[in-house]
Structure 1
Amino acid sequence: MDTIITRFPPSPTGYLHIGGARTALFNWLYTRKTGGKFVLRIEDTDQARSTKESVDAIFESLEWLGIDWDEGPFFQTRRYDIYKEYIQKLVDSGHAYYCNCTSEEVDAMREEARAAGKKPMYNGKCRDKNLTPGPGMVVRIKAPRTGSTVVEDVVKGNTSFPNSELDDFIIQRSDGSPMYNLAVVVDDLTMGINTIIRGDDHLVNTPKQILLYKALGAELPLFAHVPMVLGSDKARLSKRHGAMSVSEYRDMGYLPDAMLNYLVRLGWSFGDQEFFTRKDLIEKFSLDHIGKSPSMFDMDKLTALNAKHIQAATPKELAVMLIPFLEKQGIAVAQGPALELAIETLQPRSKTLVEMAQSAVFYFKEEVELEEKAAKKFLKKATLPTLELTAGYMEALDEFTQENLEDALKKVMEEAELKFGKIAQPLRVALTGTTVSPGIFEMILALGKNKTIHRIKKAMDYVESLPE
């Protein structure tokens, strides 16, 4: 085979969901691994349900995931002349014919076949009439009536379909528009698609598409039908399982690289390895490592993997992604060292960017809000001398480094004759308003000298205002 050319052909009738994103990813990875081409095609022939908003959402989701395309986007609604040309070729070669049977007549044929214990299908009434085009007429493929059509698949192996069950299906509607299977085959032929990786729910369409390839005298592409993604209850993935759009996962604070990592593991494996960078995936992806069984979508596993990707990212990389989440918390912050220092303290504990943003708010607010329970327990009259000592030693520091901070707090411990915990917890509440925070020294360094001392003094004011 020459250059590998794959495609991703979403229908713009909604947002890009998990199953579609995984299909796009498998095609994209395979072309990036082999140096091939990845084509984006928008299958928008269902004009009643297709919307520009859905098209834009698909583009936005693919761009967020970092799945770029080499050709396209192509739109099927702009290619009707091409489809008509190929339909005419099939008619002229005797592989297709015009049919004037009404829908009521076809329904009656199907009922008759069903009553006889056969598969309900069109009986070929117009097959040999040599009808010419006319109002209300459809075009049907002249399917073989004997033998079988075999789908050779690199994932599922060979699947055989009796031709007697493949009726003379319609390739052009009465209004002149192409049917799905015809449009797909013509698109794949004219775009040079030679490798088709898609969900195995499309397997039922494949024998019909193979008949069209053969009728057009074209070489078959390589097929790889990937098992479905199921929910934890082994039912087809739906909203209740977490089958939200890709953009919703983005808004929930998942990283694009974590999503790619998780999506690829839904049906593909490389030994026991679970964590993959984007570079790893491009280097290691192959069709022969795609499994034959359906995969189970698990939000907990996705979240755990996301936490690992947060830990593996640099603070600078995370800063770009975190800013929009901070803005949703009402915090306006510029990218820079202060933000990166704060992120570094939060990385080990954050599972999502939403969590990280919520945990980061205290760094950037002008004044902290003291939690009533935390203040009542740790900011008492007895803690005032310790807070005064801490503020004093910190003000005296020429350089605000971890080593100097440790020395300063050791002096406070010695002078107050207290263990570290008795000093650290009131200090933590003074600086954050709560009893939970990153490590005390990393946090103080991220806050900076001025903000740290200001907050300690505000806590002292609070303690002094307490009744005796």
Structure 2
Amino acid sequence: MPDPKVKYNRTRIAPTPSGFLHIGNVLSFAITAALAKQSGAKILLRIDDIDQARADKQYVQNIFDTLNFLEIPWDEGPRDAKEFDVEYSQLHRMGLYNEALKYLQDKKLVFACNCSRKQLSESPCSCYEKQLSLTADNVSWRLITSPNDRLAIKDYNGELIQAILPTEMNNFVVRKKDGFPAYQLTSVIDDLYYGADLVVRGQDLWHSSLAQYQLAIALGRDDFNNITFYHHPLIKDTAGNKLSKSTGATSIKYLREQGKSASDIYQLIAAITGINEPVYNWEQLVSIMINKH
């Protein structure tokens, strides 16, 4: 956990409305709320709906239902689904995303790719050599990355963790074939736009943090250096796999339909993470986790 004396301005809860939220999401939200309370940061609710093919109104509503049911607080952002649609959807920030894409295009930092998923599953993309037009139909844009560059991410202890971009993230997509900006780009632009200086996310997104740092460098956004990252352990299923959004037994919607209370859900998360003490809310859950480790 961060030094209690360190203060931050803003963090965010940033779910994607592509499925019903599960207990893994709740753990991440609880850790975010605890870090915010400790550091004095405001919590922004940012719903990442740029993937319109997967975003669904029922999943947007589920985000508000879950946060309210589990009494996880937020200070800024939409209070309900209607306000989200009218003011906070990522669609309202398309101008910012397109401005960033235009910058990358003008600086010749991207190339067009027409690889199919099947091709990419069989061999790495080789479209850089093809020099396809960025304005061609059915092409994505990939950032020209530097695989040997050492990237430095500021962690919760204030230390710089150095690493290189993993092979699977080389030349990652910043604009999809449908013309919409990709997750890595919208996340960077949103964090900078809203002034987030503390980002809490699962350990599975460490590679994304590195990719986003490299993208910020390409965009000339040195202010991304000011962001501290906290990567927390994940809750996994009985087979040891990361949980996914679903209507299954780990979704909050399912648990509520089974008559579980908020404290029941926190107790379930505690048990899965190896805590045997009674837990009734997110503050108790995270506090015991900290002391346990």
* TM-score interval (norm. to shorter): 0.7 to 0.9
Question: What is the deviation of 1:15?
Answer: 1.2
User: Cα deviation per residue 1:355-406 (whole Å; 9 max; x = unaligned)?
Assistant: xxxxxxxxxxxxxxxxxxxxxxxxxxxxxxxxxxxxxxxxxxxxxxxxxxxx
Q: Does 1:229 align with 2:242?
A: no
For the residue of structure 2 that corresponds to 1:54, the secondary structure is helix
The match for 1:107 is: 119
> CA separation in 1, counterparts of 2:29 and 2:218?
29
User: Cα deviation per residue 1:180-220 (whole Å; 9 max; x = unaligned)?
Assistant: 11111111111111111112222232221110122232333
Give the alignment's Cα RMSD to 1 decimal. 3.8
Question: What is the deviation of 1:93?
Answer: 4.0
Q: Does 1:89 align with 2:103?
A: yes
From the superposition, tell whether residues 290 and 210 of structure 1 become closer, same or farther in structure 2 (CA, over 3 Å). farther
Question: What is the deviation of 1:263?
Answer: 3.4
For the residue of structure 2 that corresponds to 1:28, the secondary structure is helix
Q: Does 1:124 align with 2:137?
A: no
Q: Does 1:173 align with 2:176?
A: yes
The match for 1:32 is: 37
For the residue of structure 1 that corresponds to 2:46, the secondary structure is strand
**TM-score normalized with structure 1 length:** 0.50
Residue type at the aligned position of 2:213 = I
Q: Does 1:248 align with 2:258?
A: no
Q: Does 1:202 align with 2:205?
A: yes
Alignment of 1:47-196 (within 5 A): 47-73=52-78, 74-94=88-108, 96-99=109-112, 101-103=113-115, 107=119, 114=123, 120-122=124-126, 124-125=128-129, 133=135, 135-154=137-156, 158=161, 160-162=163-165, 166-196=169-199
User: Cα deviation per residue 1:25-69 (whole Å; 9 max; x = unaligned)?
Assistant: 111222123221111111222322321111112211110101122
For the residue of structure 2 that corresponds to 1:48, the secondary structure is coil
User: In 1, are the aligned partners of 2:11 and 2:36 still within 8 Å (CA)?
Assistant: yes
From the superposition, tell whether residues 35 and 258 of structure 1 become closer, same or farther in structure 2 (CA, over 3 Å). farther
Number of aligned residues: 274
> CA separation in 2, counterparts of 1:21 and 1:42?
15
Question: What is the deviation of 1:268?
Answer: 9.1
The match for 1:322 is: none
The match for 1:305 is: none
Question: What is the deviation of 1:8?
Answer: 1.6
From the superposition, tell whether residues 136 and 23 of structure 1 become closer, same or farther in structure 2 (CA, over 3 Å). same
> CA separation in 2, counterparts of 1:238 and 1:189?
28
Q: What are the ranges of 5 or more consecutive residues in structure 2 without an aligned counterpart?
A: 1-5, 79-87
User: In 2, are the aligned partners of 1:26 and 1:264 still within 8 Å (CA)?
Assistant: no
From the superposition, tell whether residues 286 and 146 of structure 1 become closer, same or farther in structure 2 (CA, over 3 Å). farther
> CA separation in 1, counterparts of 2:192 and 2:292?
25
For the residue of structure 2 that corresponds to 1:42, the secondary structure is coil
From the superposition, tell whether residues 231 and 192 of structure 1 become closer, same or farther in structure 2 (CA, over 3 Å). same
Residue type at the aligned position of 1:80 = M
> CA separation in 2, counterparts of 1:142 and 1:226?
29
Bigger share in helix: 1
> CA separation in 1, counterparts of 2:178 and 2:73?
35
User: In 2, are the aligned partners of 1:13 and 1:54 still within 8 Å (CA)?
Assistant: yes
Counterpart of 1:18 (choices 20, 23, 27) is 23
For the residue of structure 2 that corresponds to 1:6, the secondary structure is strand
The match for 2:81 is: none
User: In 2, are the aligned partners of 1:33 and 1:285 still within 8 Å (CA)?
Assistant: no
> CA separation in 2, counterparts of 1:231 and 1:63?
25
For the residue of structure 2 that corresponds to 1:229, the secondary structure is coil
Question: What is the deviation of 1:134?
Answer: 5.0
Residue type at the aligned position of 1:75 = S
From the superposition, tell whether residues 55 and 121 of structure 1 become closer, same or farther in structure 2 (CA, over 3 Å). same
Structure number with greater CO (CA < 8 Å, separation at least 6) is: 2
From the superposition, tell whether residues 280 and 88 of structure 1 become closer, same or farther in structure 2 (CA, over 3 Å). closer
**Identity, % of aligned pairs?**
27
